[in-house]
Structure 1
Amino acid sequence: MRLISKLTAALIVSSAIFAGAANAQTVLRSSDTHPDGYPTVEAVKYFGELLAERTEGRYSVEVYHSAQLGQEADTIEQVRSGVIELNRVSMAPWNSLVPLTLIPSLPYLFTSPDHARKVMMSEIGDEVAAGFEDHGVVVLTYYDGGARSFYNSKKEVNSVADLAGQKYRVIQSDVFVDMVAALGATATPMPYGEVYSGIETGVIDGAENNFPSYESARHFEVAKFFSLDEHTIVPEVFVMSKVHWDRLTDEDKEIFKQVARESAEKQWELWDARVEASRKIVEDAGSTISTPDKQPFIDAMAPVYEKYVNTPELEDFVARIRAVE
Structure 2
Amino acid sequence: MTAITRRSALASIAALATSPLLLQPAWAQTALKISHQFPGGTLTEGDFRDRLTRMFAAEVEKRSKGALKFAVYPGSSLMKTNAQFSAMRKGALDLSLVPLSYAGGEVPEVNIGLMPGLVTSYDQAYGWKNAEVGKELARILYDKGIVMVSWIWQGGGMASRGKPVVDPDDAKGMKIRGGSREMDLMLKAAGAAVVTLPSNEIYAAMQTGAMEAALTSSTSLISFRLEEVSKALTTARAGSYWFMLEPLMMSRSIFDRLPKDQQQMILAVGAELEAFALKSSKEDDQQVANVYQKTGSKVVDMNPAALKKWQAIAKATAWKDYSEKNPSCANLLKLAEKTL
1:179 match:
186
- The aligned counterpart of 1:149 is 157
Other structure's SS at 2:115 match: coil
Task: Show structure 2 runs of 5+ residues with no match.
Answer: 1-11, 41-45
Alignment of 1:60-209 (within 5 A): 60-144=69-153, 146-171=154-179, 173-209=180-216
Supply the distance in 1 between the matched residues of 2:53 and 2:85 (Cα, whole angstroms).
16
The letter of the residue matching 2:39 is P
Q: Determine if the alignment matches structure 1 residue 216 to structure 2 residue 229.
A: no
Q: Distance in 1 between matches of 2:141 and 2:72?
A: 22
Please say if residues 174 and 193 of structure 2, whose CA atoms lie closer than 8 Å, have aligned partners that are also in contact. Answer: yes
Q: 1:304 aligns with which of 308, 318, 321?
A: 318
- Distance apart, 1:149 and its partner CA: 2.3
CA distance in 2, matches of 1:31, 1:239: 10
Counterpart residue number, 1:27: 31
Match for residue 43 of structure 1 among 37, 45, 52? 52
Contact 1:149 1:226 in 2 (8 A): yes
| In structure 1, distance between residues paired with 2:118 and 2:169 | 22
| Offset at residue 102 of structure 1 (A) | 2.7
Deviations 1:62-100 (A, max 9, x none): 211122123321222332222221101101112223333
CA distance in structure 2 between the partners assigned to 1:129 and 1:106 by the alignment: 17
1:270 CA displacement? 2.6
1:257 Cα deviation after fit? 1.1
How far has the Cα of 1:317 moved from its partner?
4.3
Deviation for aligned residue 1:20: 9.9
Moved more, 207-216 or 128-137: 128-137
CA apart distance, 1:121:
4.2
Give yes or no for the alignment of 1:262 onto 2:272: yes
Q: Distance in 1 between matches of 2:156 and 2:245?
A: 11
Say if 1:314 and 1:62 are closer, same or farther in 2 by CA, change over 3 A.
Answer: closer
Q: How many Å separate the matches in 2 of 1:102 and 1:193? A: 19
| Alpha-carbon distance in structure 2 between the residues aligned to 1:276 and 1:243 | 39
From the superposition, tell whether residues 97 and 133 of structure 1 become closer, same or farther in structure 2 (CA, over 3 Å). farther
Alpha-carbon distance in structure 1 between the residues aligned to 2:229 and 2:190: 23
Report deviation, 1:50. Answer: 1.9
TM-score, structure 2 as length reference: 0.82
RMSD value, Cα: 2.8
Residue type at the aligned position of 1:276: Q
Partners of 1:123 and 1:181 in 2: how far apart? 31
- Are residues 56 and 312 of structure 1, via their aligned partners in 2, closer, same or farther at CA, if it must alter by over 3 Å? closer
Query: Structure 1: which 5+ residue stretches go unaligned?
Result: 1-9
Counterpart for residue 289 of structure 1: 299
